[in-house]
Amino acid sequence: MPVDQTLDIDFRVDRNNLYLEEGFTDMKVASIRRMTPVKPDGSPDPSRQTVFIGQTQLMTPDGPLPIQNQLAAATLGEAIAKFPAAMAEAMQHVIQELRRMEQMHEQQKRQDNSRIIVPGR
C-alpha cells in the first residue's frame, strides 16, 4: 500500500466508547475479558453496560483456531456459567462458515473444471 493511501485512515480514538479491559483465565480452556465502560478521564461510566467476551481456541492440523463470543452476563460469575454454551454456539457458527466456504470452493472448482477443453472430444 503506498504511503499516501494510509493518510485516508482515521486513527482518532472514539472518546465516547472507551473500555477498561481485564482478563480472567483458568489456564486451561477459558479466557474471559471484562470490558468496563469508562469516561475519557478513565473514571467508570455507569451509563453503559459492562461487556463480557469469552475466548478459547481449538487445535487443528493447521494450528490453533480462535473462537470467541459475547457472554450475556452482568457479573463474572454469570459469565463463567454461560461460557460453555457460548463457546459451543460460536464453534457451531465457525463449523457452518467453514462448510459454506468449502461448498463455495467445490462449486468454483467444478466451474473451473467445466471450462477445460479436451482436444478430440
For position 107, what pLDDT does the model report?
Answer: 86
For position 67, what pLDDT does the model report?
Answer: 96
Query: Average pLDDT, stretch 56-80?
Result: 95
Residue linked to cell 504511503: 3
For position 116, what pLDDT does the model report?
Answer: 64
Q: Are 56 and 81 in contact (CB under 8 A)?
A: no
For position 19, what pLDDT does the model report?
Answer: 98
For position 2, what pLDDT does the model report?
Answer: 59
The residue among 66, 62, 63, 11 whose CA lies nearest residue 33 is 66
The residue among 20, 42, 43, 49 whose CA lies nearest residue 33 is 20
Alpha-helix runs per DSSP H in 1-121:
3-6, 76-114
Q: Is the pLDDT of residue 4 over 70?
A: no
Query: Average pLDDT, stretch 16-33?
Result: 97
The Cα–Cα gap between 63 and 58 comes to: 8
Within 8 A by CB and 6+ apart from 33, the residues are 21, 22, 23, 24, 52, 53, 55
Within 8 A by CB and 6+ apart from 72, the residues are 82, 86
| Reported pTM | 0.76
The Cα–Cα gap between 74 and 59 comes to: 30
The length of the chain is: 121
